Structure 1
Amino acid sequence: MSQQTDENYLTTAQVARRLRVKPETIYAYVSRGLLTSVRARGRRGSLFAAAEVERLASKSVEHSGVVEQIESELTLIRDDNLYYRGHPVKDLATSLPLESVAHLLWTGELTERERFPVAGDAVELARAAMGVLPESARLTDRLRVAVAVLGAADPMRFDLTPLSVTTAVEKLIGVLVAALPGPVPALNPQQSLGSRLWPKFSSHRARPDVLESALILLADHGLAVSTVAARVAASARANLYAVVSAGLGALDGQYHGAAPTLAYEFLKRAQRDPLQALSDQLRSGEPVPGFGHRIYRERDPRAEVLLGMLGDHPVVETIQVLAARMPSFPNSDLAVAAMMHAYDFRADAGDALFALARMVGWTAHALEEYAAPALRFRALGIYTGPTD
């Protein structure tokens, strides 16, 4: 290697200074294919192309890791509006059944679809799995257990072709709804999913249109933490049930799937005395549940649709009183909580509704990952422990 060529290469020490990492980390980068080392004649140690080092430096914040940018055709959030494959979600949620919107996300085609099927033997298996849990178990706990058991019982779960995946998830969602604790109505293949799910949540006069709209509004929201978990699993070519289980695991975190329950509890207090509930919450130093959003700036379109469907119910007036004294806006968590109070849903219904809806979105993201290179998510670990 000539002196002129040497000028385009850096030593290990120089690379470490440029990337602000330890020399040991450079070798980790090499082993993971992020950098290529070369040997120079008559010189000890490795050299690295300066251009390659600069590309790596530009990819990460403070050079502590490489951020994988995920391209997706599914969900767009722009100007406080939400779109599924270019279609405004507010229009989809008020005019179409869940099955049609699900296939739009899965295939890109917006057509009339048959209702999700319900297989009696699979329902009995899922119900038996859920029944093992104690009475105190939440609905989402029962969903997680049932998904694992149904996956173990499906010998075709490793078929990752699009048709096999969409067929499996249609059956999975239909079976889970039928197996949830509650009344066991006669199986009607023409009944909407909202109609099947309603008696599992409430004995109030049924409004399946509201419930179905909520499922559509919550089906996907871009790269939320549970969706990233699902995509990582799919990148490893995990089967659909494992992908859904990964999403459910992340959803169980207090900063994600628990949000509707926190909003529900806050709204319960607020209906008795809005100002006192707000004052107590502010005094606690904790955020007010159900208000504001990291992505939306002035409004959450999902909340607007769902609250609009509740009409002049007193719970909507309570939210208006709260909103008038808040610097931010009601979000979808508060809207779901309002629906729960308006129709006397069981207290853990919000989390289960969120989980069932997101199964549609996780499947859509899994299908994108199955079509992408496998194992493309590998976090860059920086060793900080003791060395010799």
Structure 2
Amino acid sequence: MQQDKPLAGLRVVEHASGVAAAWAGRLFAAMGAEVIMAEPPALCPLRGEAPLFDDGGSALFAYVAADKRSVICDTGTPEGRGALSALLDTADIFIDDTPLAARAARGLDETAIAARHPGLVHLSVLPFGATGPKAGWTGQEINLIHSGGEGYLLPNGLSADMFPDRPPLRIAGHFAEMQGGATAALAALAALWSGEGQYVDASVQDANVAVGCFALQRYGDGSVEHRLTRSFRYGGVIECRDGHVELLMLEERQWQALVRLMDHPRWAMDEALDDPATRSARGDEINRNIRAWARHHAVDDLVSRAQELGVPMARYNTPEQILSGAHEMARGLFGAVTVPGTGEVLIQTAPFRFGDAPLDLCRAAPGPGADQALLPQIPAARRVTA
């Protein structure tokens, strides 16, 4: 059974060169909107972005452009600007990440779009937003993960214990940009819900500052978190005999369940540890004992027993384990698409669902200009006025 998609019938035009804006478009497509990429003649830069398949095609592009359509539109020419404007006449949302300084010359600035398309939700997605002193700045993933604060806090936990002298890291992939894209998509949906045309200014940096809300919250008591001090007092990533698990301890009942899981070891029977504040103060000692115990157990056996007892523990998966995991398979998290030159690949259909049935994946990423017929052909008389 296929699940109904809430944005079916809506049209989104995506004019994107970066991951954040493209990911916003991908989320709209997953929710059922028709998403049309308006690519320049040189094509979307993400088509050449690593990681690459053996034939040189971009795996990243295959992911963020799945279920979309493609037209070629040169906004550097009057004809191209006119064609894009005619396409926007049919759209509900316009996503654009053109650098601020280049927008006016291409007819993509806020004022021009609002004048021509007053009912359109115009979603601007920029590294540091379209207003303020950093509006003209560019930024890549590594800049954004650190300017948002999260990079300063990585690695932490077991990784920081094992490698305390290593420098800060960024999260693998495009965490910061995808966080920005998700936030931008939600902001555009809020504007769409209002029923009025609006300009939505999304900052990828701002979206990532929100990820570190707990660190910001602790500024109030004078605490400044660092990757060597940022961790739960005990738990985190734990090494087992054949892999790793993640253990998250927040509640008293979870501590009591962990003690049962460990078969009531003598060190855990210390009456002083009945006090949560004492456990926090002795977190390093507790973790040393947990880690020594876990090294003698297999991951799958430990996770199975933990879940039966109510201990919040899960396997730290490899990519292969995610693709074949029982939970992921049961939820229908991945769909197969055929990528030209590569063959069938599995792609996450969506990071959400709206009912019992998983969302389906309808098509692979489009070839350049595969849907050119969707682009209105502008008569010569209109080109002059455009």
TM-score range for the pair, normalised by the shorter chain length: under 0.3
Higher strand share goes to which structure? 2
TM-score, normalised to structure 2's length?
A: 0.26
The structure whose RCO (Cα within 8 Å, separation 6+) is larger is: 2
Higher helix share goes to which structure? 1
